[in-house]
Amino acid sequence: EAGVAQSPRYKIIEKRQSVAFWCNPISGHATLYWYQQILGQGPKLLIQFQNNGVVDDSQLPKDRFSAERLKGVDSTLKIQPAKLEDSAVYLCASSLVQGLGYTFGSGTRLTVV
Amino acid sequence: RKEVEQDPGPFNVPEGATVAFNCTYSNSASQSFFWYRQDCRKEPKLLMSVYSSGNEDGRFTAQLNRASQYISLLIRDSKLSDSATYLCVVNQAGTALIFGKGTTLSVSS
């Protein structure tokens, strides 16, 4: 079974620039999550999708972050404009059942300079 | 108050030692409990689920006390390969996992 695919693996941008991350979940997994993990912290949920609908985006900084999962399969997370404090690893995960049986992707490491 | 709080680290232990990690959670409606392991610069991976009756997987034992809202992980006979960050994780039915900050374990020879 193929895992959760994420790209790019690494990204360095200047503050105020825009950046987008892509995630392709495990085939058949209806639930998709984006987490932000700042160095030394645990992953923090940004947004949860069930198929192409948003279940929880309460912790997504909506003034600069946006995410979509238009066809209920792959997803894109965008930051515009980026701030220094957005430097983190962005982890995508998917699951067959909401809240259980997560599989994480390898993450995208973002550095904002 | 954070939803999931863990022992501050790092824990530095010799091979063969027994080490225990503790975790508390604030939401009494939490229903599922897990320990995840995260190696340096890698994604988190499920180590084990935690059940009210307590459960064991080889050298690892997890305990849950719902009344105290407390979760523990015991590692016996530590190996060099156990060096990692251990994340305490909880959730309610149908909701996303909530992660603690993690406790770093370093096992030395």
* Peptide bond preceding A8 in cis form (omega within 30 of 0): yes
Chain A residues touching B94 at Cβ < 8 A: 98-99
DSSP state, residue B106:
E
The rounded Cα B105 to chain-centroid distance in angstroms is 11
Q: Do B94 and A91 touch (CB under 8 A)?
A: no
Chain B residues touching A41 at Cβ < 8 A: 101-102
| Separation of alpha carbons B65 and B77, rounded Å | 24
At residue B1 the predicted structure's pLDDT band, cuts being 50, 70 and 90, is low
- Tens digits of per-residue pLDDT, B5-44? 998 789 999 999 999 999 999 999 999 999 999 999 999 9
Confidence (pLDDT) at B4: 97
Confidence (pLDDT) at A26: 95
A56 touches chain B (CB under 8 A): yes
pLDDT reading at A2 higher than 90: no
- Tens digits of per-residue pLDDT, A51-71? 989 999 999 999 999 999 988
* Averaged pLDDT, B71-96: 95
- Tens digits of per-residue pLDDT, B39-75? 999 999 999 999 988 899 999 999 999 999 999 999 9
- Closest-CA distance, B101 to chain A, in angstroms, reads 4
Question: For an interface test with B, which of A26, A104, A109, A110 has the most B Cβ atoms less than 10 Å from its Cβ?
Answer: A104
φ, ψ (nearest 5 deg) of residue B80: -55, -35
Give whole-number Cα distances, A34 to A53, B31, B57, in Å.
14, 22, 29
A41 touches chain B (CB under 8 A): yes
CA-based nearest residue to B63, from B55, A42, A77 = B55
A33 touches chain B (CB under 8 A): yes
User: Among A35, A56, A100, whose Cβ lies nearest the Cβ of B32?
Assistant: A100
Confidence (pLDDT) at A100: 82
Residues 10-69 of chain B whose Cβ lies under 8 A from any Cβ of chain A: 32, 42-46
